[in-house]
């Protein structure tokens, strides 16, 4: 109906991964359109939003950030994972340890996400620095083992701006 066409649907997307992999910068790149120079200054921000039009429909993507506390207290975990529509797992392509942490994050998410099965994707960030520590083949193998799509990108490189958008929009299309 006409009424429906003016409604905005809201989807909650959470961004998970080790500290310093660029979760805040990725979310800011998508919602704010820029590379965030001092992500530390955003501690305390619960989420950022961006409304996109897909096939004439307004979709508001609410991107939840961990506010610098990657290891939550128990009460926070529940809050963060509640009513989640999609999950982005992030690692830093120049930091093998951040990649090796992924199974733990994926496990935690599987335990807490409500509802439990939501679209999930893997994002290797900081590709502007080269792919030194985490080769694509290694990341692809992990992604395949979970059946998650894999994206490699950079929140910093302006040439990757459209790619970052495309990653979030891919999720939005899956959700709508
Ligand atoms: P978070 O702890 O996962 O939220 O990571 P931040 O978004 O706070 O970023 C951590 C650090 O990595 C900051 O110094 C950012 O400037 C830097 N950073 C984030 N994304 C990129 C990227 O794509 N390339 C490079 N070279 N640095 C990045
Ligand atoms: Mg952060």
Ligand number with the minimum distance to the CA of 20: 1
Does the C-beta of 15 come closer than 6 Å to ligand 1? no
The first and second tokens of residue 89, run together, are 């797992």
Distance in Å, CA 57 to ligand 2 centroid: 30
DSSP state of 74: H
Query: Given the CA of residue 17, which atom of ligand 1 is nearest to it?
Result: 3
pLDDT in tens, the chain (176 residues): 455 556 889 999 999 999 999 999 999 999 999 999 988 877 766 789 999 999 989 999 999 987 656 665 666 777 888 899 999 999 999 999 999 999 999 998 998 877 777 899 999 999 999 877 999 999 999 999 999 999 999 999 999 999 999 999 999 999 98
Q: How many CB atoms neighbour CB 75 within 10 A? A: 8
Residue pair 106/116 in contact (Cβ under 8 Å)? The answer is: no
The dihedral through the CA atoms of 75, 78, 83, 85 has a sign that is positive
Q: How many CB atoms neighbour CB 149 within 10 A? A: 15
Give the three-state DSSP class for 15: strand
- Give this complex's ipTM: 0.99
Query: Given the CA of residue 155, which atom of ligand 1 is nearest to it?
Result: 23
> Model's pTM, two decimal places?
0.93
CA 164 to chain centre: 10
């Amino acid at each position: 109906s006409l009424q429906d066409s003016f409604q905005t649907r809201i989807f909650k997307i959470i961004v998970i991964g080790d500290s310093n992999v660029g979760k805040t910068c990725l979310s800011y790149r998508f919602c704010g359109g820029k590379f965030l120079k001092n992500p530390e200054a955003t501690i305390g921000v619960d989420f950022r939003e961006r409304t996109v039009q897909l096939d004439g429909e307004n979709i508001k993507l609410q991107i939840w950030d961990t506010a610098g506390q990657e290891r939550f207290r128990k009460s926070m975990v529940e809050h963060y994972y509640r009513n989640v529509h999609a999950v982005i797992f992030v690692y830093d392509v120049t930091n093998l340890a951040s990649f090796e942490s992924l199974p733990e994050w994926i496990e935690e998410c599987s335990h807490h996400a409500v509802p439990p099965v939501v679209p999930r994707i893997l994002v290797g960030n900081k590709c502007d620095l080269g792919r030194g520590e985490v080769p694509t083949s290694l990341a692809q193998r992990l992604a395949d083992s979970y059946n998650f799509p894999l994206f490699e990108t950079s929140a910093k490189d302006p040439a990757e701006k459209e790619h970052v958008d495309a990653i979030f929009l891919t999720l939005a299309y899956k959700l709508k």
